[in-house]
Amino acid sequence: MEELEQGLLMQPWAWLQLAENSLLAKVFISKQGYALLVSDLQQVWHEQVDTSVVSQRAKELNKRLTAPPAAFLCHLDNLLRPLLKDAAHPSEATFSCDHVADALILRVRSELSGLPFYWNFHCILASPSLVSQHLIRPLMGMSLALQCQVRELATLLHMKDLEIQDYQESGATLIRDRLKTEPFEENSFLEQFMIELKDIPIKTGDPAYWPRTLHTVSVSFYYGMRQWYLLQEIYGNQPLWALQNLEYTYPELIIN
Positions of the chain with pLDDT under 70: 20, 86-91, 197-256
- CA angle (192 as vertex; 191, 193 as ends), nearest 5: 90
User: Considering Cα of 195, then 199, then 203, then 206, what sign does the dihedral take?
Assistant: negative
Half-sphere exposure of 97 (CA within 13 A, CB side): 24
pLDDT confidence of residue 225: 42
Tell me how far apart the alpha carbons of residues 25 and 7 are, in angstroms, rounded to a whole number.
14
Characterise 75 by phi-psi region: left (phi > 0), alpha (psi -120 to 50), beta (else).
alpha
pLDDT confidence of residue 241: 37
| Cβ–Cβ < 8 Å for 68, 85 | no
Set out the domains of the chain in order of their start, with CATH numbers: 1-126 (2.170.210.10), 131-200 (1.10.287.450)
List of residues 6+ apart from 196 with CB closer than 8 A: 216, 219
Q: Where are the alpha helices (DSSP H) in 132-254?
A: 137-169, 186-198, 210-217, 219-234
- CA angle (160 as vertex; 156, 164 as ends), nearest 5: 175
pLDDT confidence of residue 61: 94
Rounded to the nearest 5°, which phi and psi values hold at 30? -140, -175
pLDDT confidence of residue 226: 45
pLDDT confidence of residue 127: 93
| Cβ–Cβ < 8 Å for 96, 20 | yes
Kind and range of the H or E run holding 92: none
Kind and range of the H or E run holding 23: strand 22-30
DSSP 96: E
Tell me how far apart the alpha carbons of residues 234 and 144 are, in angstroms, rounded to a whole number.
31
Q: Where are the alpha helices (DSSP H) in 10-68?
A: 51-61
Rounded to the nearest 5°, which phi and psi values hold at 172? -80, 145
pLDDT confidence of residue 236: 45
pLDDT digits (tens, 9 = 90+) for 240-252: 333 333 333 333 3
Looking at this protein, which amino acid is placed at residue 14?
A
Nearest to 119 by CA among 132, 127, 110, 128: 110
